[in-house]
Structure 1
Amino acid sequence: MSGYKASPGMSAAAARNGLTITWDGDKNQEIRLRLAIDNGTPTIRELSVRHKGRSWGALASNVTPEFSFVSGIRRIDRETREGLEENGIKEITPKVYEKYKWDPFWDAPLNIPGTEDMRQTLGLPRKPEEVKRGTATYRAKSCDVKTDGTRLAVTFPGVSMGIFSGQLQYTLYKGTNLIRQELIATTEAPSIAYKYNAGLKGLAIRDSSRLTWHDLANHIQVYQFGGHKNDKETPLKTSNRLLIAEGGSAGSIATFPPPHNFFWARESAQVLGYNWYRKDSDTSFSFGVRQAENEEEPRIKGNFALYSARPGTSQHMAVYFYVSADPAPATRTAVMAFTHDDHFKPLPGYQVMTHHYHMRFGLRLLAEAGPDAEIEDLRALKSVGINIVSPVDNVGTGGGAGNRPAADTLRMIAASVEGARRHSDKDFLVMADQEFYGSVLGGHTDLLFSHPVFWTYGRTAGQPLVEDDPKYGKVYHIGAADDLMEMVKREDIMMSMPHPRTKNNAGYPDGFKDKEFFKDAHFQGVGFRWGMGLDLSERRLCEYRCLALQDDLLNWYADDPTPPKYLLGISEVQRQTFGDGIYSSAPVNYLKMNALPNPNDPSPVIKTLMRGEYFVTSGEVLIPSYSLQGTGNKRTIVADVEWTFPLDFVEVVWGDGQQTDRQIISTTDLPAFGKHHFQIPFDTTGKKWVRFAAWDSAGNGALVQPVKLTLTGASSAGAR
């Protein structure tokens, strides 16, 4: 226990028969965890909780951690190959394959054999022997106990799980009843894509024992273990990814996954059953969290990419438990507070925006009943706290747009524009935006409009760039990059690249980084979306793809007299409805705007985005204010940050045009559900840009937009 440091409210004591940890939780509760090793297996000898001053109630005795995995082989999807071919990479050599295989969207490694009608994945059919399965086994002889601020980690080495090996870790947090159980494991196998299930095994069934959850209609469901025993895990489609085991007067235990990095990107947010239970006998049961092995909707069976496990990286396979002396309803309330009830918390002076949502808005309005048709997706999005929705209709050469006559494209745009106006409200703005498939710039390009603009893809020889249409007025004909940029500049359109370095944007924006159109200020930046290559060794959401790219972008253009390129949180989901996993599936953008604009004039939204006056977040970490203060080389980064899960660190990242560096400031001394005013001295000498972000212990986070540095400037430069 050399790494252990005693502190008020968190104590650990080792004895011959195990380790006992006692800590202060929330709501005046106290938790006691006794850990031991039985024949090499880490065992929770006792997990008890009480209201301070009252008797202990045992929620679990002699239970063990349960982990299992299923893996397949990672492949490159066809969209990735198409993007690479546009960039002149015609041959998928082993070197190219190794570089680009880890960030897929259209891959489904467990779909055996796979068929060409999935069309998005190369190298089919898959072979049954590609799929590996395994359950964790333990050969621990001791454990390591380490204090880190207000948290305590207990680590057991000697874990094997098929192709993975590593250690089991429990992390406990003073001031909250939260327990994180995780398998931290590596594999040396190449091209591994995998999923995992996790939980606790051997909980006692008593007369008062029962499981409770909310179904997808938000109705309370109860199981009292009256049925026969189960041979395998029973999946549950629960609301909010949450399952609670009640133990009578002793209290209750909730189990749930990390709210965001548990989920790889999909075209659907349909809940596939993220909790499980198993009645092992008449006297014991097990429960936890899970992922499905395949998508349910036949149309998108090829879109289920799993996690990527690069060889040698430490994969963090986590499950959370929340223990309470209270019954299930109070425990549910306490757990839901970590995600603001799966709701994006309102912040004064901010509006919450989702972008790049594939709801086929214009086409649905045309097909159903015109602009007044009910679109329940919009009501579902509003119900989780989103009040600006930027759907993207498909235009260009793909996504069903390639065979669309020009007249139909104009009808679709008109329907989107009028539909956006009619479905907006005083507290809810719908925009009529587009994704240009097969963009004349290369890859895909998102177009966000300050006002309605009518245009068609294709320009014949001698055809004017702009023609007057008796119905739609001014109509642009776009056949080349110069045409698009002329329209963008005339009409003040904002451009952004969705899903960079993956899908059809594989190889982009790298492939056109020297082009003037990408340097143009109207090309505001790129999309931020975790899960298109989700690797559980990442400490930050979309660390390997999005954040690395942003730092590249900032260094590429560090000396250019143009604004920095920004990250814009995007979705990739198609239709959504109530009961879907809307909150967990995508980031949002908090725009610094006191009020929503009139539906007839969304230009204030575009101006706010172009100025970078917003932050991107998963929802649990918020940055209500941020500024780079001072003049000259001696500056101060000032930020107000609030969070729910215990905060892990904040970071200041900078570059000199060639290299990127960072200062990581640990926040493990701060409690869960906290707020902090950060003042960080920052010397700008030799630095050309800076950005700030905050990340919590559950993989959630928030980031503000970067600032280019100068030796002179207002003290409020970079204010958000």
Structure 2
Amino acid sequence: MNKFFLLALLASSTVRGQNCDLQEYKPIDGLRAESAAGGLRVTWQGERDHQLRAVFDNRNGQPMVHELAVRKANGDWSVVGRDLKPEFEVTSGRRRISEQQLAPMRQLKLALTPELIEKEKWNAFWDAPLDIPGAKGTNPDLPRSPSEIRRAKATYQAAGCQVKTDGARLEISFPGLSMGIFAGQLRFTVYKGTNLLRQEAIAKTDEPSVAYKYNAGLQGFAIDNATRVTWQDVARAWQAYEFGGVANTDPVTLRARNRLAIVETGAGSLAIFPPPHKFFFAREIELNLGYVWYRKDDDNSFSAGVRQAEHEEEYRPYGVSDAVWNRRASQSRHNLGNFALYNAPPGTWQRMPVYYYLSPEDGPATQRAVLAFTHDDRYKPMPGYRIAVSHFHTHFNEQLSDAGTIDLQPTWLPVFRALGINVAMMSDFHGDAHPSDPGPLRLGEQKVYFDGCRRHSDRSFLIMPGEEPDATLGGHYTMVFPRPVFWTHVRQPEQSFREQTQRYGNVYHVGSPADELEMLRQEQGLVWQAHPRTKGSSGYPDAVREMDHFRSDRFLGASYQSLPVDQSERRLCESRCFGVLDDMNNWTGAKYLIAEGDTYMKYPDDETYPHLIVNYVKLDRVPRFDEDWSPILRAMRAGDFFVSSGEVLFRNYAIEGTGPHRTFTAELEWTFPLEFVELVWGDGNMTNRQVIPATELGPFASHRFRVPFDASGKKWVRFAAWDSAGNGAFTQPVHLQ
């Protein structure tokens, strides 16, 4: 009997004494599971010289974390938690389609059948299932009833556990989880090479129309003189609570910077945080609602974890004049009708994770280690690329005009600069100013907009004055030019398509799709469908797929945003966004997905990073404002950019070979342990993919992937990579024929 088989047999037989099934367990160097006095003991090699230990137990059907410990090299073990109970709570409401979606579908004269409503309601943005009674006119079938809201905490009847080795990770699963309308299992995952521990409920419901949120954490941390919870507040000042107060009735919400709370024990630390992006559903603002919590349960113990709020809050309006203040205060209040939560279609396995990071260090050192996974919540510069974002309604021209100076520094400017953004494509004239004015008002407002963008651009930071005009092309769309272009959304009978003015120079007057397309051609602008198949673009770009502007090379494609969020999906915006991308490329020539924000006012104390996905555009440098911006638009039109959430990045990629024998090569780097990479292709009718598991690859690593493929019958291909926390990056489709 060889040594490997003997070790596996001994582990299997002893752990089965704890009612754990190890049939799928394979011991590997640096990642082990074995029987121990307290239950199932898992040890693994972490980052640097750290070693980690977790002991899991089943006490009368209740899964427990008997111990969490960490040490440096072969030093003494530091226990950061003992006898901890996993805690989950779900709050659910009813998913409704929005009137915003229904409006364009009615204009397109689509038959609003029950089947169509059932399909489209899962793409709702303007929905707030926990808002009672709801804002009139936001959704059909209002008011909401309090009986629609259901709350449940997880209970367990676990008969045992299953242990599974998956590449360089180990999964410990406990069946028998019940949580109101949800049922499933509890799972812990550890990853060789990192101090991460992932705890998640994996559960489904058979109820229809469920939208939900969850809170998760651990209960039972011991209180002693060295125990405290620390975090950085929104101003980045360190705060601490030492549990000297009375017990809490409810969780205490922490508006913590970077969505991170740290339990410090004196001997080590345990950081608590949600997934960086997939935990967050789309909103119009990024106000920090508090995503971590603690709760002092009694004089001897406390709990801590992650949370989602139940309602949106109002952002700080601005306005020197009463008119502007009242308009922005009204918009701020209006945002309360938008808090869509997660989708839970019947029968889908929803994953509800929380991450822990075990550390032998103090709070600040632990924070630095955790923030390495998101590059300190900053988009990492990549050689040969510049980072671009699009679609932000900050009402820049209105704010500057109201202040009476273009030297007013807007609150969103330091937000973008701190994130590492190089190019910001803004979208004024959407709920502000006079977009439908034939010229006298609009052109003056455009000049303020252009002058403000010029004033606040810099050597490595360009503000491009784009727009979401929604004029003649159908649905909502974003438009950018390689220079400032004066134009109006309307063309009166006496106005020519193009006129030369003394004050503004060349001015276009657009009155039809043909006019708008001709302006784009003459000025070499680009346009793409904003939020396709949802919001005001429901039914688009499908409705215009045969029109000249869609078939034109000026129509770049559609936008990409994490909307909606379905925790059963493995990719951000899996169905809606990638469905649109693949369909467009099967319909016609090369079309792309452009990452967008589609958000409004921003402030430095917001949590913008988790809500933002960016474009890495192949550029040698950022053009200055008064230079030609064509290099940006040419790179985008050529598909020379990739989209990333920030944690997975392409160093380079290419297609090698000729004829039918091709190979897609991609050199990637990542922070969280990688999950899979995929090659996706279409033949003009159908889309297919080859998914390549990557669970054997550890964290903070890089790899050059080579994926051979037969190009015969394939019209286009693209490549994507996704990590274990739901973060990812993808290239644009390359057409082969």
TM class by shorter chain equals over 0.9
Name the SS of the counterpart of 2:692 in structure 1.
Answer: strand
Q: CA deviation at 1:379?
A: 1.8
Quote the Cα distance in structure 1 between the aligned partners of 2:49 and 2:437.
Answer: 63
Q: Is the 8 A contact 1:466 1:477 kept in 2?
A: yes
Structure 1, residues 287-337: CA drift from partner, whole Å, max 9, x if none? 000010001113310011100111111111010000011111111110000
The letter of the residue matching 1:374 is Q
**Residue 33 of structure 2 corresponds to which residue in structure 1?**
12
**Residue 126 of structure 1 corresponds to which residue in structure 2?**
144
TM-score, structure 2 length as denominator?
A: 0.93
In the TM superposition, 1:508-657 aligns within 5 A as 508-530=540-562, 532-557=563-588, 562=589, 564-600=590-626, 601-657=628-684
**Residue 171 of structure 2 corresponds to which residue in structure 1?**
153
Structure 1, residues 218-274: CA drift from partner, whole Å, max 9, x if none? 00001000000001111110000000001112x010000000011111111010000
In the TM superposition, 1:200-279 aligns within 5 A as 200-249=218-267, 251-279=268-296
Q: CA deviation at 1:27?
A: 2.1
Question: Which of 468, 473, 476 does residue 505 from structure 2 map onto?
Answer: 473
Question: Which of 334, 338, 358 does residue 393 from structure 2 map onto?
Answer: 358
Higher mean C-alpha deviation, range 402-411 or range 568-577: 402-411
Structure 1, residues 503-552: CA drift from partner, whole Å, max 9, x if none? 0000111111111210111000100000x221111100110110111111
Higher mean C-alpha deviation, range 601-610 or range 620-629: 601-610
Q: CA deviation at 1:400?
A: 6.6
Name the SS of the counterpart of 1:102 in structure 2.
Answer: helix
Structure 1, residues 652-711: CA drift from partner, whole Å, max 9, x if none? 00111111111111111111000111122121011110000110000000011110013x
Question: Which of 102, 111, 116 does residue 96 from structure 1 map onto?
Answer: 116
Name the SS of the counterpart of 1:577 in structure 2.
Answer: coil
**Residue 427 of structure 1 corresponds to which residue in structure 2?**
460
Quote the Cα distance in structure 2 between the aligned partners of 1:658 and 1:493.
Answer: 29
Name the SS of the counterpart of 1:81 in structure 2.
Answer: helix
The letter of the residue matching 2:592 is Y
Q: CA deviation at 1:454?
A: 1.1
Q: Is the 8 A contact 1:265 1:572 kept in 2?
A: no
In the TM superposition, 1:61-460 aligns within 5 A as 61-89=82-110, 92-116=112-136, 119-249=137-267, 251-297=268-314, 298-394=333-429, 401=434, 404=437, 406-437=439-470, 439-460=471-492
Q: CA deviation at 1:17?
A: 5.5
Name the SS of the counterpart of 2:625 in structure 1.
Answer: coil
Structure 1, residues 575-633: CA drift from partner, whole Å, max 9, x if none? 11112111111101111111111211222111111111111000000012010111111
Quote the Cα distance in structure 1 between the aligned partners of 2:197 and 2:159.
Answer: 22
Q: Is the 8 A contact 2:398 2:432 kept in 1?
A: no
Quote the Cα distance in structure 1 between the aligned partners of 2:505 and 2:164.
Answer: 69
Tell me the number of residue pairs that the alignment of Structure 1 and Structure 2 aligns: 697
Quote the Cα distance in structure 1 between the aligned partners of 2:270 and 2:201.
Answer: 20
Q: CA deviation at 1:15?
A: 5.7
Residue ranges of structure 2 left out of the alignment (5+ in a row): 1-21, 315-332
Identity of aligned residues (%): 47
Quote the Cα distance in structure 2 between the aligned partners of 1:182 and 1:79.
Answer: 34
Higher mean C-alpha deviation, range 11-20 or range 490-499: 11-20
**Residue 725 of structure 2 corresponds to which residue in structure 1?**
698
The letter of the residue matching 1:241 is R
Cα 1:370–1:611 change in 2 (3 A) is farther
Q: Is the 8 A contact 2:89 2:152 kept in 1?
A: yes
Q: Which stretches of structure 1, 4 residues or more, deviate above 3 A after TM superposition?
A: 14-17, 398-406
Structure 1, residues 409-437: CA drift from partner, whole Å, max 9, x if none? 11221112121111111111111110013
Structure 1, residues 425-456: CA drift from partner, whole Å, max 9, x if none? 1111111110013x311111211111121111
**Residue 44 of structure 1 corresponds to which residue in structure 2?**
65
**Residue 532 of structure 2 corresponds to which residue in structure 1?**
500
Cα 1:2–1:223 change in 2 (3 A) is same
Name the SS of the counterpart of 1:346 in structure 2.
Answer: coil
**Residue 60 of structure 1 corresponds to which residue in structure 2?**
81
Name the SS of the counterpart of 1:354 in structure 2.
Answer: strand
Q: CA deviation at 1:403?
A: 6.0
Q: Is the 8 A contact 1:214 1:238 kept in 2?
A: yes
Name the SS of the counterpart of 2:23 in structure 1.
Answer: coil
Name the SS of the counterpart of 1:37 in structure 2.
Answer: strand
Quote the Cα distance in structure 2 between the aligned partners of 1:571 and 1:429.
Answer: 17
Q: Is the 8 A contact 1:370 1:415 kept in 2?
A: no
The letter of the residue matching 1:159 is L
Q: CA deviation at 1:404?
A: 4.8
Cα 1:379–1:15 change in 2 (3 A) is closer
Quote the Cα distance in structure 1 between the aligned partners of 2:624 and 2:139.
Answer: 44
**Residue 5 of structure 2 corresponds to which residue in structure 1?**
none
Higher mean C-alpha deviation, range 652-661 or range 597-606: 597-606
Quote the Cα distance in structure 1 between the aligned partners of 2:515 and 2:436.
Answer: 21
Higher mean C-alpha deviation, range 571-580 or range 361-370: 361-370
The letter of the residue matching 1:226 is G
TM-score, structure 1 length as denominator?
A: 0.95
Q: Is the 8 A contact 2:438 2:491 kept in 1?
A: no
**Residue 717 of structure 1 corresponds to which residue in structure 2?**
none
**Residue 680 of structure 1 corresponds to which residue in structure 2?**
707
Quote the Cα distance in structure 2 between the aligned partners of 1:594 and 1:68.
Answer: 49
Name the SS of the counterpart of 1:200 in structure 2.
Answer: strand
**Residue 23 of structure 1 corresponds to which residue in structure 2?**
44
Structure 1, residues 634-655: CA drift from partner, whole Å, max 9, x if none? 1111111000000111110011
Structure 1, residues 333-356: CA drift from partner, whole Å, max 9, x if none? 100000000010111211111100
Q: Is the 8 A contact 2:132 2:143 kept in 1?
A: yes
Q: Is the 8 A contact 1:86 1:442 kept in 2?
A: no
Residue ranges of structure 1 left out of the alignment (5+ in a row): 711-720
Q: Is the 8 A contact 1:406 1:457 kept in 2?
A: no
**1:667 maps onto 2:694 in alignment:** yes
Q: CA deviation at 1:170?
A: 0.5
Name the SS of the counterpart of 1:527 in structure 2.
Answer: strand
Cα 1:171–1:702 change in 2 (3 A) is same
The letter of the residue matching 1:421 is R
Quote the Cα distance in structure 1 between the aligned partners of 2:250 and 2:411.
Answer: 37
The letter of the residue matching 2:576 is R
Q: Is the 8 A contact 1:143 1:157 kept in 2?
A: yes
**Residue 713 of structure 1 corresponds to which residue in structure 2?**
none
The letter of the residue matching 1:587 is I
Quote the Cα distance in structure 1 between the aligned partners of 2:534 and 2:360.
Answer: 47
Quote the Cα distance in structure 1 between the aligned partners of 2:243 and 2:488.
Answer: 61
